[in-house]
């Protein structure tokens, strides 16, 4: 049983005759259903068919990267503004932003100073970002992750 490239059924043909029709059209003779009686073959461009099937199975993923912005507990206003401007650019681009603060030496005793900086960041980004991971301590670092809205 042979099916033409445009979908019309040509009926039961000899294998050699079906191959000759496929070669005449510069296409391939592909066995679609080998278990059927008689077996069903289709005249098609097999390379194009394989490409379309592979393209159909690939999904379009948007890669989300995590950018990191490092701040200090006693950050100046200008440095804070500069880093938050970069954070805004990352969020507008669709990336997640990991804000980390490292405490050095005796700064670890005053975690509340670092917490105030993070509270200020949360207040500044309430309209443009979601807090995906709240502030938490990991060793001598305080970490928070922001995601775009």
Q: Where are the domains of the chain?
A: 2-57, 66-148
Give CA–CA dist 70/68, Å, rounded. 6
Look at the domain 66-148 and name its fold.
Translation Initiation Factor IF3 (3.30.110)
For 90, how many CA atoms within 13 A lie in the half-sphere containing its CB?
22
Look at residue 118 and tell me whether its pLDDT is greater than 90. yes
pLDDT band with cut points at 50, 70 and 90 for residue 40: very high
Whether residue 129 contacts residue 147, with contact meaning beta carbons closer than 8 Å, is answered with: yes
- Look at residue 64 and tell me whether its pLDDT is greater than 90: no
CATH H superfamily, domain 2-57: Translation initiation factor 3 (IF-3), N-terminal domain (3.10.20.80)
Q: Which residues pair with 137 in a beta bridge?
A: 142
pTM: 0.59
What are the start-end ranges of the H helices in 1-141? Answer: 15-24, 46-57, 77-93, 111-124
pLDDT at 54: 86
What is the residue-averaged pLDDT of the chain?
91
């Amino acid at each position: 049983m042979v099916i033409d490239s445009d979908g019309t059924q040509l009926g039961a043909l000899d294998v050699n005759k079906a191959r000759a029709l496929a070669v005449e059209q510069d296409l391939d003779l592909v066995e679609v259903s080998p278990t059927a009686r008689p077996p069903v073959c289709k005249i098609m461009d097999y390379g194009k068919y394989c490409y379309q099937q592979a393209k159909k199975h690939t999904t379009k993923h948007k890669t989300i990267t995590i950018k990191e912005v490092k701040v200090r507990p006693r950050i100046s206003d200008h440095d804070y503004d500069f880093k938050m401007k970069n954070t805004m650019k990352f969020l507008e681009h669709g990336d997640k932003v990991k804000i980390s603060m490292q405490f050095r030496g005796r700064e670890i005793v005053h975690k509340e100073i670092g917490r105030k900086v993070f509270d200020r960041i949360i207040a500044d980004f309430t309209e443009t970002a979601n807090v995906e991971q709240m502030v938490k301590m990991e060793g001598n670092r305080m970490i928070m992750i922001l995601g775009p809205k």
